[in-house]
Amino acid sequence: MTVYRRRRFTQLYTRADIELLASVDEAHEMLSGPATRRILEREFQVYKRPEYARLATISRRSLVQPAPPPALPRAASELHQDAAHGGVDRRAAQAAARRPAWILRLDTVHQGDQPNGGEKGVYHINAVDEVTQWQVAGATPRISEAYLEPVLEHMLRQFPFRILGFHSDNGSEFINKTVAQLLEKLRVEQTKSRPRQSGDNGLVETKNGAVIRKHIGYGYINASHADRINDFYQEYLNPYLNYHRPCAQADVKIDEKGRKRVSYKRYQTPLETLSLLDKPGQYLREGLSMNALKRVAAAISDTDAARRMQQAKAKLFERLRLTA
């Protein structure tokens, strides 16, 4: 009697691999498939973690992610100031030169109002370099000139390269004499958006949702907590974003009909993108070197940095609850 034997596919990944992948998704809060795959590659290739050997070769199709639930429920009242950017021809020429920080994209994100028409919540300031996607977030209790000036100056100095351009919307928090004097002192050129062109500033708008809202949520947070949030950004979130979180980098090609074709096949951390520029050291601030930045990135792996950031975020929200 012939015994039927069911054909079985060879098992590529072990239970330990599946659990490891789940822990990576938890630490990084379910990034896209290509970004997660890049993290797995870096854990094995850059940080020499042998447990990632099989996962480092996983296909993007195997990493299709469901949308995660929101971190916090949406507040009943939310103010979100859209930014737009002008000077299309000039901006295209600058982007073609691939000079990091030639223009920083800035926007504000408001953390809601207290229910029943109460006090306004904390404001987040989001700044993203258009070439490397180096990102620095800050927080302030108010967006008046007196409150915003020290926060902006502190944020600008967190970028490792020289800032040459500062581009925002037409909001009075950015377009005022105090900010203009600050940028003049730092020798930074200021430009503002075109009217009624809110789609021009897509880069920082996507970072508002993918970073600020994802990690801080939509619920009301009292403005008195701005300093605590600012400390969390500087010590944990900003380093994680720039040294350990891969971003989709745009490749632009012009076809035979003169149409612009944009593809997103490269997923790199902002530091990796910076290091691939021609002679990147020429853009750095005085006293900094690429080796120094790479040592910071090498000190802790991508997923360990994400776990450290998540632990700090949990402590931050616990303090916010206790002092609410």
Could you please report the per-residue DSSP string of 162-177?
Answer: ---EEEE-S-TTTSSH
Q: How many CB atoms lie within 10 A of CB 209?
A: 11
The predicted structure's pLDDT at residue 75: 33
Residue 101 near residue 282, CB atoms below 8 Å: no
State pLDDT tens for residues 49-68: 999 999 999 887 777 655 44
Per-residue pLDDT tens digits for 135-177: 999 999 988 878 888 898 899 889 999 888 877 776 667 767 7
Given the structure tokens 């993007």, which residue do they identify? 60
Q: What is the pLDDT of residue 194?
A: 67
The beta strand positions in 80-186, using DSSP E, are 80-81, 104-110, 123-129, 135-140, 165-168
User: Which 8-state DSSP code applies to residue 82?
Assistant: -
Tell me which H or E stretch contains 44: helix 33-45
Please report which helix (H) or strand (E) contains residue 249, including its range: strand 247-254
Q: How confident is the model at residue 104 (pLDDT cuts 50, 70, 90)?
A: confident
Domains of the chain: 15-63 (no CATH), 80-226 (3.30.420.10)
Q: Which pLDDT score, from 0 to 100, does residue 260 have?
A: 85
CA distance 116 to 295: 49
Phi, psi (rounded to 5 degrees) for 260:
-80, 130
d(CA 100, CA 163): 8
